Structure 1
C-alpha cells in the first residue's frame, strides 16, 4: 500500500492510503501435442516457424548407393525415412539412420541433432528385415518352382488325355484296340501322378496340383472302363478270296512223217 500526503482545508497535511492496481495482464499459452513417428507424444512445433525454417540438402549413403534428399531442417528422422521409401523401396520400419556414428530415433529432430546442409546420413537396412526378406524370397522361389513343375505335368497330361479320347472314340465305333495300348497309357498316367506327389506346393500351387491329380485319376478310371468295353468287341476276321483258274491247256503237236 502507498501513503500519499495532501493539504486539507484547515492547512494541515493528512495521509490517505491507496491500493495500487496493475495494468499488466498474463496470457496463458496453450500447448498443443502431436503423435510423432514411433508413437512418441511430443510438443507440436509452430507451423509458421517450420515453414520459415531452412531446407537441408542431405547426402544419404546406402551401401554403394548415394542419394540426395531435400527436407525441412525441423523435420524428424522418421519423416526423412518416409521420403527415403520412394527412393530405396524400404519401408520406414525397415530403415536405420545414423548421423555422426550414432543411430537416430524417429522422434529426433534434424536441427536438434546438429544436422546441417550437405550433411551425410548413413542408411542401413534393419537386420531383422533383411532376414525376413530373404525368407520371403526363398519362399517365393519355391512357389515359382512348384508352379513350373506342375505346369510341365499339366502339358504331359494334356497329351495323354488326347490319346484317351482317341481310344474312347475308336471303341465306341466298334473298333477293337490292342490291350497293350491301353495298359501302356495307364502306366504313363501313373508316372505323372507320382511326379505330382513329389512336388511340394502351398496355396495356389497346391490347388493346381490337386486339379491335375484329379485329371490323371479321371483318365485312369476312363481307361479301366474302356478296357472292359474293348474286351467285349469281337475282332474282325478278314478273309481273302483267291481267284481260281482252269488248268493250262496242253499243247498238242502234230507229228509229220
Structure 2
C-alpha cells in the first residue's frame, strides 16, 4: 500500500526557488530531502546529525594586567565580564565584587558580554581594585560579624540548658511518682541553672538574638521554680516512698486550725462623712 502511494506522489516543492521534481525523477542539487511517514504523510526529512546546525562557541585567550603582573585567561567568547572576574579571583586574590575591569579605556559592567564589547582572542584589559566597593563590603562584613558574634555563646548555653532540663524532667517523674531523692541533687541542679542565668545576663545582643536570650532566661527561671516546688514535695516523702507520719500530722493540724477560724462579721455601722 505504501509502495502504491509513493509511486503516485505528485510534484514536490523544493526548499529553494520553488523547484520541483517528479515522483520517479532524481533529486536536483540544492533541493530539500523528503520522506514518507508510515501514516502516508509526506514531510521534510529529519537531519540525523543533531549537532550539525549547532554553533560552536570559540574559546579565546585574554591578557589581563593587574599591577605589575599579567594573567592570561582562557574563556568562552560569549561569557560575561562577571565570569571573567570570577576566574581572576584565584590568581589575583581579589573578591569579584572588588574588581574593576577596564577594556578600551572604559570600565565594563559585570553583566556585559565579552563578544558584545568587542573582546577577541589576544585582547588586553586592565584590572583595578574598586576601593569604594571593597570598603562597603568590609563594613557590611564587620556589621554582620558583630550581629552573629553573640549567637555562638547563646547556642552553647542553650545546649547546656537542654541537658539540665532533661535532669529536671527525670526528677519530676521520680518525686511525683513517690520516690524520694537526695536533696543535694535538687540543690546542685538549681546552682547549675543559676550559673546559666549569669551567663545569659552577660550576653549583649540586639534583634533576634536578644529575643532568644530573653526566652532562655524565662525558661531557666521556670525550671528553678519547678525545682523549688520539687524540694517541698520531696521533703514530704518518707524513706519508704510514702508521706511521713509527721507530715500527715502537720497537715491535719493545719486543716483543723483553718476549720476553727471564725469568719469576721461587721456589726457596727460607722457614720460616713
TM-score by length of 1: 0.50
Q: Does the aligned pair in 2 maintain the 1:58–1:70 contact within 8 Å?
A: no
The yes-or-no answer on 1:129 pairing with 2:142 is no
Tell me how large the CA RMSD over aligned residues is: 4.2
Whole-angstrom distance in 2 between the partners of 1:65 and 1:233: 84
Matches within 5 A, 1:171-182: 171-182=175-186
- Report 1 or 2 for greater relative contact order, CA contacts < 8 Å, sequence distance ≥ 6: 1
Q: 1:81 to 1:116 in 2, by over 3 A?
A: closer
Q: For the pair shown, which has the larger CA radius of gyration, 1 or 2?
A: 1
The yes-or-no answer on 1:66 pairing with 2:71 is yes
Deviations 1:214-238 (A, max 9, x none): 332221121122123223334559x
The yes-or-no answer on 1:227 pairing with 2:235 is no
Q: Does the aligned pair in 2 maintain the 1:81–1:95 contact within 8 Å?
A: no
How far apart are 1:189 and its partner, in Å?
0.5
Q: 1:131 to 1:219 in 2, by over 3 A?
A: same
Q: Does the aligned pair in 1 maintain the 2:100–2:108 contact within 8 Å?
A: no
Whole-angstrom distance in 2 between the partners of 1:146 and 1:130: 26
Partner of 1:160: 164
The yes-or-no answer on 1:187 pairing with 2:187 is no
Partner of 1:90: 96
Structure 2: segments with no counterpart, 5+ residues? 1-58, 90-94, 242-273
Partner of 1:7: none
How far apart are 1:196 and its partner, in Å?
2.2
Runs of 4+ in structure 1 displaced over 6 angstroms?
Answer: 113-116
Q: 1:217 to 1:66 in 2, by over 3 A?
A: farther
Partner of 1:209: 213
Whole-angstrom distance in 2 between the partners of 1:189 and 1:195: 10
Q: Does the aligned pair in 1 maintain the 2:99–2:127 contact within 8 Å?
A: yes
Deviations 1:10-60 (A, max 9, x none): xxxxxxxxxxxxxxxxxxxxxxxxxxxxxxxxxxxxxxxxxxxxx975312
Structure 1: segments with no counterpart, 5+ residues? 1-54, 73-78, 238-257
Whole-angstrom distance in 1 between the partners of 2:197 and 2:70: 49
The aligned length equals: 173
